[in-house]
Amino acid sequence: MQVNSVIIVGRSNQQPVLKTLFKVLFKLGGWKLHQPTPEQSYNCVMVAAPHTSNWDFVYAISAMDQLGLNPRFTIKKEFNVPPLGNMIRNLGAIWIDRSATKKGGMTDFMVSLFRDCEEPLTVVVTPEGTRSPAKKWKTGFYYAALNAKVPICLSFMDYKNKITGIGTCFMPTGDLQKDMEHIMEFYSKTHPKFPEKFSLDERFLPNTK
């Protein structure tokens, strides 16, 4: 399928080697799963934060897989080269041509994913956009969920207590300020691997308007 020059490649049928490896690393790292998992998380836009280390991806993907979710995430098509491409595809990669997308293209694309997909879909996003402190988060994920009429779920990684999972889900109301404040409040209580690399969006902190 191709939507607005964004390339979608389905998963292969090969043994998901990386998933097995990630699960082993998850167990060796002493991580535990937060449960129960909200029912809404099986068809949602999933915020993955804090994002301060490459290890976050390993543990998050493993956790979602163990919780029975079907995580999908976008990644540049340049990474779709053998043998790495096949392994990443099995983790849920959706290859995209960023040079072909216009402003708003990714938001519209995410909406089309939910519209066209015949099965439950968990689209994982990292709105910080970087492993460095980001005082402004990307908000495209919010409008994607709003327009697709799907919930936003907040996953977390607590390095202090070695527990990860989905904390809460909610339907976006259309009030960006209010809903983002709710998200900031949730993540203000998390314990990232590198606290100095994590920052909440200063535009949506309570009492700072």
Q: 99: which DSSP letter? A: G
Q: Identify which of 111, 92, 108 has the alpha carbon closest to the alpha carbon of residue 100.
A: 108
Residue 120 and residue 23 in contact, taking contact as beta carbons nearer than 8 Å:
no
pTM of the model: 0.84
Q: Which pLDDT tens digit goes with each residue over 106-151?
A: 888 889 889 888 888 899 999 986 656 668 899 999 999 999 999 9
Distance, in Å, from the CA atom of 112 to the CA atom of 101, rounded to the nearest integer, reads 14
Confidence band for 37, pLDDT divided at 50, 70 and 90: very high
pLDDT at 132: 61
Domain boundaries, the chain: 13-69+102-204
Calculate mean pLDDT across residues 170-176.
97
Residue 15 or 153, more confident: 153
Best CA proximity match to 180, nearest among 148, 137, 124: 137
* Share above pLDDT 90 across residues of the chain, in percent, rounded to a whole number: 54
- Write down the mean pLDDT value for the chain: 84
In sequence order, which residues have a C-beta less than 8 Å from that of residue 153 and are 6 or more positions away? Answer: 38, 40, 41, 44, 45, 46, 47, 122, 166, 168, 169
The predicted pLDDT at position 102 comes to 56
User: Residue range 67-77: average pLDDT?
Assistant: 84
Is 117 in contact with 64 (CB distance < 8 Å)?
no
Q: What pLDDT is recorded for position 194?
A: 93
Chain-centroid distance of CA 113 in Å reads 15
The residues facing 2 across adjacent strands are 7
